[in-house]
Structure 1
């Protein structure tokens, strides 16, 4: 997936919104006001930073050169993936969905209920 494909897939998640709260270098994706992804902007090889479980982050960082601990994030719970082509599209989509669901699971019950009602 290229940068544009990743951004479109991130926005396809229910109630996902994007913005540039940290400036033009980082496009942030949120659900119900909580961040679940960041896509670098204006780089030769874009990167996406996603939330993960500590076990998944540790495993993926060890297994793939394109996956590093979260750039400017909690290195235990976030990973940064270079969109260099090493990670196949299916795996990247799965990691995006997992990041989204990890964030949704931590929302207040009332927010999760509102999200469910948006179907």
Structure 2
């Protein structure tokens, strides 16, 4: 999967999740996706660095870094709880969708129960 497709899949999945907001609160080249104010996805808008950064369980993050050459420690954020994913032959749309959805769930679970997306309905 190339970088443009990687980012497009990540954006598409993130936008389909409940109560997601998107903006550029840090710098112009970073699209930041949040659930109830908690960041769960960062997509670079730099053609020279087409990556996504997602939240991950530390154990899962280590396994992913060992399994995929294009998965590295998270850029911009805590290196233990975040991973960055770049283009690669072994990176699939399904993997990207799973990583974004898992990141969303981890962010949502860190919210007080009353603020979680499902609790508001």
Same fold (TM > 0.5): yes
Alignment gaps of 5+ in structure 1: none
Q: Deviations over 1:19-52 (max 9, x none)?
A: 0011211000000011001000022451100000
CA distance, structure 2, for counterparts of residue 48 and residue 118 of structure 1: 28
- 3-state SS of the aligned residue for 2:32? strand
RMSD: 1.6
- Which among 30, 37, 62 is matched to residue 58 of structure 1? 62
- 3-state SS of the aligned residue for 2:83? strand
Structure 2-normalised TM-score?
Answer: 0.88
RCO higher in 1 or 2 (8 Å CA, sep ≥ 6)?
2
What's 1:40 paired with? 44
What's 1:116 paired with? 118
Are the equivalent residues in 2 in contact too, given 1:45–1:83 (CA < 8 A)? no
CA distance, structure 1, for counterparts of residue 52 and residue 89 of structure 2: 12
